Structure 1
Amino acid sequence: MAASEQVEVELKFDVDPGHTAPDLRALPGVVSATEPETFELDATYFDTENLDLAGNRITLRRRTGGTDAGWHLKRPSDTPGARRELTVGFDEAPADGDVPEPLLTPVLAHIRTRSLRPVAVISTTRTVTRLLGVDDEPLAELAEDLVTAQSLLPGGHSHQWAEWEFELLSGGNGKLLKAAEKTLRAAGARPASSASKLARAIGSTPTVHEPRLSKRPTALELVVTDIALHRNSLIAYDPLVREDAEDAVHQMRVACRRLRSVLSGFPTVLDAERTEHINSELKLLARILGEARDSEVQLELDKSLLAGENASPELRAALAGAETRTHDRAIRQAHKAMASDRYFALLDAVDNLIASPPPGPDADLAATDVVDKAIARSRRHIRKAQARLATLTEGSDEWSEQLHTIRKRAKRLRYSIDAAAPLNKRRYREIGEIAKKIQSALGDFNDIRINRAHLRSIVDAGELGAEDMFIVGRLDARLEADAQRAVAEYRKAAKKL
């Protein structure tokens, strides 16, 4: 089923019914305008009983009439004043059918296991005038709307109002938008009282709980604010993982790990017993995503290794073929996990944690005091691991594993410091930079270690020709030199910790 997406940039105004719109042909870049054309639009809006979509400024509707009849999903955009609109026409998804899957997938992380139902019906008499530029290029259009809306929520009411919408088209720009706003307001238009027709139809809606730090935040305020930040990141990357977007698995996995790092890095701020289940579920999700991410990394490394090498198809297949199959299998497992009630229950649990955090013994302490304690604890753990490293034979498997342990502890330190970023303390940033360098250097070392083991397994299979064996030897020598450089970078950073 095909879906098309566009970014919608528009201005919305309230006006008195019957108020005459001004002539906009004098706006910059406008050469002419079409004759006004009137349409009758009828839309049904869908949401959950809890209004999970409306609370996240998302609208899902089925609309007949006009030039874009079909199913529409509107979501916030990174562009200020813009929204993303995803459309599936009735030729792809009938009006009397279920909500089409391409519109459900992007919002599953919001609706989860809850059912969608009609929450409002809105009828609009729309008169559209299109503004044209040179060679009849469409610049913008003004829609004069007379709206009748009926809320289908318990106790809902009927509303009638008039509004104007000025939307940029493919040839429009910010200068035109700014000029249009000035002209329309001078003609009597008022700032819209609601962000959308649906918001006006159903009235106030619950919104996603977004904690804010006070001037002197407590430890609980800092921790809950950070959890909300990473919850938002996890939900934002959910639909991108479902559509296999580049780097989405990595970013969603990072969000899981950062959530876990807050829970484990500040164990006395929240009630540990009441957050233990969330921590373990996040760990499982991160592991599932990690299998897909690790195979992605390995595929990238395999490609970079063979860049510029005259390797045979057999060697290329030996390096990348099995990894491709592993990656495809891991992605399928990730998608399966993200379609489960267990995953949606985890998202609900995180939301409940943010809305009603169970305080631990240090919840009311100053945020800086608890961060200082967490940093000191992480640094002790790193130094203990480094002392253990010094007792091991350099280059041994146990020594390499210990470097990996140090890397994980440096990452935990870095995440704890990242959580304290709103406090804007220079001493935290300096330690965080050191932890980042340690993590990066030892991450490179671990990737190299995995690659060298992969090369050894290919050699041990005994299926390569002499020329390919020579290439493998050269690759291994290059990796060995890279590993030595990574260890040197780690040691240089570790001296400053």
Structure 2
Amino acid sequence: MAASEQLEVELKFDVDAGHSAPDLRVLPGVIGATEPETFNLDATYFDTENLDLAGNRITLRRRTGGHDAGWHLKRPAGAPGTRRELQLGFDEAPADGEVPTDLISPVVALTRTRRLIPVAAVSTTRTVTTLLGADGQAVAEFAEDLVTAQSLLPGGHFQEWAEWEFELLGNDPHPRLLKTAEKTLRAAGGREPSSTSKLARAIGSTPTVVEPHLGKRPSALELVVTDIAIHRNSLVTQDPLVRTDADDAVHQMRVACRRLRSVFSGFPTVLDAERTDHLGGELKLLARILGDARDSEVQLALDENLLRAENASESLIAELAGTETAIHDRAIKAAHAAMDSDRYFALLDAIDELIASPPPGPDADLDATIAVDRAIAKSRKKIRTEQSVLSSLTEGSEEWAEQLHTIRKRAKRLRYSTDAAAPLDKKRYRKVATIAKRVQSALGDYNDSRINRARVAEIAGSGKLSGPDMFVLGRIDARQQADGQRAIDAYRKAAKDL
């Protein structure tokens, strides 16, 4: 049985030891409570020597006692007080006590090749009261904890404290339950917690990752490093989702790679090129590997779209989509293998090192706005050059179609350059980005129709299908031809503003 994940929504308060808790049966949606039950919980927390998990507000522990004994991985879920908790029972974990692979995989983009070691031992005497709703179902859990913790880090110390935790249960709590519980518990003596988790309090300060941001008048180097940090965070966020083949994750991770590359190529003199060129090459390789999986995803979606509102036979469905699933599975396995390699982890280390200590190029001190203006002007000039080449080609020819694809790639780079300026919050950059996106989207739609028509022609020429299936293929081809023409019209309209 695989690890199970749930969303954890809870409140936490520091409180004096032995302080009496209020009667929470007065909360909205609560009509009763179970008798308090006391457990002894013993947990060992694991992290790298650098505290890569704790620095990202993640906890990984092995805990005995209570109803959920086993391994737990807790990660932020976006909203304050909300975390995703991945659980694995001892009967499903390695018998040797090693950290289970199922819990390493979601955070391996942070831990990489670094060893996970015990960093804290926490013992808790927990008294739990379960609050019940009108139907007798559990709606919340209130825990009164007496905690003793020993840091296992060099120079670590021993601590004792008391705290209250209030956690929502079930899928449909009363809308005012959490907010009213917070007011009630604060009024009863609950205080702002000194740490976000028992681990954080046990080990003290950690190198917490700070979201990148810019000052009022940033330099080109500050803008570039901020943008790299944003896309690095996106890449790391998508990593565990790609490992589970989550919807759109491959696409988003590939976009993060491309955006990182666009920063290096769009602002080549802001960073020392001799020290960053290899990063662009590694990101290009990773994007290509992810691209194989992404292309198969796109083709599966295109195949489904082609068959919309059509009375297609099983034979035609098999011809269009039958082999694509197997291709996708192979591509995903190849992506996972690449993401488990030392080369991938070395790339992530190199990006982190660059963010921490960026090697300045000759234009590092240039005003960020000037650097962006130059990058946009250079990109637009390249697009206009490619458009000039397009005008010399015969419309509808293979060369003409390939040139449109080249213009699409140039538009995408322009869009990425303007997106890099998003932290500057300037209207003129957003306008250029919008135009570039329209051009990119229109030419992407045209390219899809072109690929689809070639695919339809190939299947039609195979001689495997019946007359009715050939008729359906003819309808699909006509629809794709019309879609392609609409895309070209949209491109020409948008391209006027480039």
Q: Structure 1: how far apart are the matches of 2:493 and 2:252?
A: 28
C-alpha distance in 2 between matches for 1:187 and 1:434: 57
- Bigger mean CA deviation after superposition, 442-451 or 452-461: 452-461
Partner of 1:113: 113
Q: Is the 8 A contact 1:212 1:221 kept in 2?
A: no
Quote the Cα distance in structure 1 between the aligned partners of 2:313 and 2:190.
69
Residue 84 of structure 1 corresponds to which residue in structure 2? Answer: 84
Aligned partner of 2:181 in structure 1 is: 180
In the TM superposition, 1:47-86 aligns within 5 A as 47-86=47-86
Contact 2:106–2:240 (8 Å) recurs in 1: yes
Alpha-carbon distance in 2 for matches of 1:364, 1:490: 37
Partner of 1:246: 247
Q: Which residue of 1 aligns with 2:380?
A: 379
Mapping of residues 45-444 of structure 1, within 5 Å:
45-93=45-93, 96-170=96-170, 172-444=173-445
1:481 aligns with 482
Q: TM-score by structure 1 length?
A: 0.97
Residue 394 (structure 1) shift: 1.1
Question: In structure 2, what is the Cα distance between the partners aligned to 1:478 and 1:185?
Answer: 63
Judged with a 3 Å threshold, the aligned counterparts in structure 2 of structure 1 residues 31 and 470 are, in CA distance, closer, same or farther, namely closer
The equivalent residue for 1:31 is 31
**Alignment pair present for 1:491 and 2:492:** yes
Q: Secondary structure at the match of 1:86?
A: strand
> How many correspondences in the alignment?
497
User: Aligned-pair distance for 1:473?
Assistant: 2.5
Cα distance in 1 for residues equivalent to 2:402 and 2:105: 40
The 3-state SS of whatever aligns with 1:206 is coil
Which digits, 9 at most, give the CA deviation of each residue in 1:149-188, with x for residues without a partner?
Answer: 1111011111111111111222534522222222222222
Task: Give 2:44's aligned residue.
Answer: 44
Q: CA deviation at 1:207?
A: 2.0
The Cα of 1:209 is off from its aligned counterpart by 4.9
Matched residue type, 1:9: V
Q: What amino acid is the match of 2:144?
A: E
Contact 2:28–2:174, Cα closer than 8 Å, also in 1? no
- In structure 2, relative to structure 1, the CA distance for the partners of 1:379 and 1:162 (3 Å cut) is same
Amino acid aligned to 2:377? A
What's the secondary structure of 1:454's corresponding residue? helix
SS at match of 1:99: coil
Q: Aligned partners of 1:173, 1:259: CA distance in 2, in Å?
A: 44
Letter in 2 for 1:88: L
Checking the alignment, whether the CA contact within 8 Å between 1:138 and 1:172 is kept in structure 2 is no
Local SS of the residue matching 1:211: coil
Q: Is contact 1:209–1:355 with CA below 8 Å preserved after alignment? A: no
SS in 2 for 1:277: helix
User: What CA deviation, in whole Å up to 9, does each residue of 1:254-279 have, x standing for no partner?
Assistant: 11111111111111111111111111
1:78 deviates by: 2.2
Question: Cα offset for 1:135?
Answer: 3.2
What is the Cα deviation at residue 396 of structure 1?
1.1
Distance of 2:29 and 2:15 partners within structure 1: 26
Letter matched to residue 450 of structure 1: I
1:389 and 1:218 map into 2 onto residues whose CA distance is: 37
1:11 Cα offset (Å):
1.2
2:6 corresponds to 1:6: yes
Q: Residue 194 of structure 1: SS of its match in structure 2?
A: coil
Separation (CA, whole Å) in 2 of partners of 1:96 and 1:434: 58
How far has the Cα of 1:491 moved from its partner? 0.8
Q: How far 1:314 moved relative to its partner?
A: 2.3
Rounded Cα–Cα distance in structure 1 between residues aligned with 2:207 and 2:95: 28
**Closer, same or farther in 2 for the Cα pair 1:321/1:149, shift >3 Å?**
same
Checking the alignment, whether the CA contact within 8 Å between 1:62 and 1:95 is kept in structure 2 is no
User: Which amino acid in 2 is paired with 1:458?
Assistant: I
Whichever residue aligns with residue 304 of structure 1, its letter is: N
TM-score (norm 2): 0.97
Change in Cα spacing, 1:485 to 1:43, as seen in structure 2 (3 Å) is: same
TM-superposition CA deviations, 1:222-278 (whole Å, max 9, x none) = 111111111111111111111111111111111111111111111111111111111
When structure 1 is superposed on structure 2, of 28-37 and 410-419 the one drifting more is 28-37
CA offsets 1:296-343 (integer angstroms, 9 cap, x no match)? 111111111122223332222121123222212111111111111111
Shift of 1:95: 6.5
Aligned-residue Cα RMSD (Å) equals 1.4
The structure 1 segments of at least 4 consecutive aligned residues displaced by more than 6 Å after TM superposition are none
Structure 1 stretches lacking a partner, 5+ long: none
Q: Distance in 1 between matches of 2:28 and 2:309?
A: 53
- Partner deviation per Cα, 1:404-444 (whole Å, 9 max, x = no partner): 00000000001111111121211111111111110001001
Q: Deviations over 1:15-36 (max 9, x none)?
A: 1222222222222232222222
Q: Output the CA distance in 1 between the equivalents of 2:292 and 2:96.
A: 41
- How far apart, in 1, do the equivalents of 2:346 and 2:429 lie? 35
**Does the residue aligned with 2:221 lie in a helix, a strand or coil?**
helix
Give the stretch that moved more between structures: 41-50 or 102-111. Answer: 102-111
Question: What CA distance in whole angstroms lies between the structure 2 residues aligned with 1:172 and 1:323?
Answer: 43
Letter in 2 for 1:109: A
CA contact (8 A) 1:220 1:269 kept: yes
User: In the alignment, is the contact (CA less than 8 A) between 1:210 and 1:225 conserved in 2?
Assistant: no
The structural deviation recorded for 1:96 is 4.4
Which amino acid in structure 1 is aligned with residue 42 of structure 2? Answer: D
Distance (whole Å) between structure 2 residues aligned to residue 355 and residue 207 of structure 1: 13
Deviation string for 1:473-494 (max 9, x for gaps)? Answer: 3322221222111111111111
1:466 is aligned to 467
Q: Secondary structure of 1:127's match?
A: strand
3-state SS in 1 of match to 2:461: helix
Matched residue type, 2:285: L
- CA 1:471–1:181: 2 relative to 1, 3 Å: closer
Deviation at 1:139, TM superposition (A): 2.2
